[in-house]
Amino acid sequence: METALIILTDGLVYASWLFLISAGLTLIYGVLRILNLAHGSLYALGAYAAASVVLLYFDRGLWPMGSYLALLGAALLVGAVAGPLIERGLLQWIYGRDPVYQLLATYALFLILEDLMKLVWGVNPYYAYKPYGLLGIIRLGGIPYPGYSFLLLGVALLAGGSLCFFIRGTRIGRLVVAMIHDPEISAAMGVNVPRVSLLTFTLGAVLAALGGAFTAPMISVVPGLSVEVIVLAFAVVVIGGLGSLEGSAVGALLVGLVRSLMVHRIPELELFAIYLVMAMVLLLRPRGLFGMEEVRRV
């Protein structure tokens, strides 16, 4: 019989994965008010880049533990390159337009990136599982857990913590918060809105790629990753509240724990878990757990 410890651990591990894949989405929405449907593609890009980097890395026979830094490096690379390209190349033309067109533009971007990745990397799977097995086994509740799961937990906490510090503790972070609350007044007060937008989107892209990069060692990287991730990320972000990082974390925790409970106790309902939680939250608190009150402009 599974103990509560196992269910809790599984919930936390899954939640940390969910947080990594959804933090970027909520940040971008909060600041830029754009629901980035290409978020899943950035995740997949991060996964492919990480797989390629890891393969190169082990080819050179470098210090195995350093492969985690390689994963981080791959994510940073993808974010730093793709982020500004997309923001300057596409998004800056659609700010302030009808939300439907923004959605469509990011959907179009998703389609284009899908095929681009197929053209660059082909349809064959890429494996990067060497980093997965390096951290040994930790026994909890009587069953073995791979050390990597706890690394993932650590990365999620680190990412969340850094973001928190960035938003609260640095000057630019507070400018971002100002923009979340009111872009117009921020601009009137002298905030360089285009530059802050660029920075935020790049940050969001790095987060998405980070999720992909650290997932790559657990899976075989094939085309089609983006589609599955988009739906999950959306659900978590909606539950937590669009634009709220704490919401994202709490939403991830909630979904992770509920799902873990269902898998261990009522496996038949596992498929519905996330949608039921989402529907529940939308019913009781439509703006999400930590979402901001949207003032109705008349």
By CB under 8 A, the residues from 23 to 62 that bind other proteins are: 35, 51-52, 55-56, 58-59
CA 108 to chain centre: 20
Q: Two tokens at 171? A: 């000057």
Q: Does 85 bind other proteins (CB under 8 A)?
A: no
* Pairwise CA distance, residues 65 & 286, whole Å: 44
Tell how strand 143-146 and strand 126-127 pair up: unpaired
Question: Between 137 and 166, how does the x/- string for binding to other proteins read (CB under 8 A)?
Answer: x---xxxxxx-xx-----------------
Residue type, position 71, single letter: L
Please tell me whether residue 137 adopts helix, strand or coil conformation.
strand
Binding part of the chain for other proteins, among 181-189, 193-201, 232-240, 247-255 by CB under 8 A, reads: 232-240
Q: Does 283 bind other proteins (CB under 8 A)?
A: yes
In the complex with other proteins, the residue whose CB is nearer, 164 or 218, is 218
CA-based nearest residue to 244, from 173, 161, 180: 180
Nearest distance, CB of residue 170 and other proteins, angstroms = 29
Could you identify the residue written with the tokens 């999400």? 288
Task: Give the length of the chain.
Answer: 298
* Pairwise CA distance, residues 130 & 173, whole Å: 36
CA 139 to chain centre: 28
Nearest distance, CB of residue 171 and other proteins, angstroms = 30
- Identify how many contiguous H helices and E strands the chain contains and give both numbers: 12, 4
44 in Cβ contact with 226 (< 8 Å)? yes
Q: Does 93 bind other proteins (CB under 8 A)?
A: yes
Q: Does 224 bind other proteins (CB under 8 A)?
A: yes
Give the residue, chosen from 81, 95, 173, 287, that forms a contact with other proteins under the rule CB under 8 A: 287
Please tell me whether residue 239 adopts helix, strand or coil conformation.
helix
In the complex with other proteins, the residue whose CB is nearer, 143 or 189, is 143
Binding part of the chain for other proteins, among 62-70, 75-83, 177-185, 226-234 by CB under 8 A, reads: 226-234
Residues touching other proteins: how many (CB under 8 A)? Answer: 92
Give the residue, chosen from 96, 119, 184, 293, that forms a contact with other proteins under the rule CB under 8 A: 119
Give the residue, chosen from 112, 158, 185, 189, that forms a contact with other proteins under the rule CB under 8 A: 112
In the complex with other proteins, the residue whose CB is nearer, 193 or 279, is 279
In the complex with other proteins, the residue whose CB is nearer, 58 or 166, is 58
Q: Does 286 bind other proteins (CB under 8 A)?
A: yes
CA-based nearest residue to 36, from 138, 106, 113: 106
Q: Two tokens at 155? A: 């990365």
Beta bridge partners of 144: 139
20 in Cβ contact with 230 (< 8 Å)? no
Q: Does 284 bind other proteins (CB under 8 A)?
A: no
Q: Does 223 bind other proteins (CB under 8 A)?
A: yes
Give the residue, chosen from 76, 80, 81, 103, that forms a contact with other proteins under the rule CB under 8 A: 103
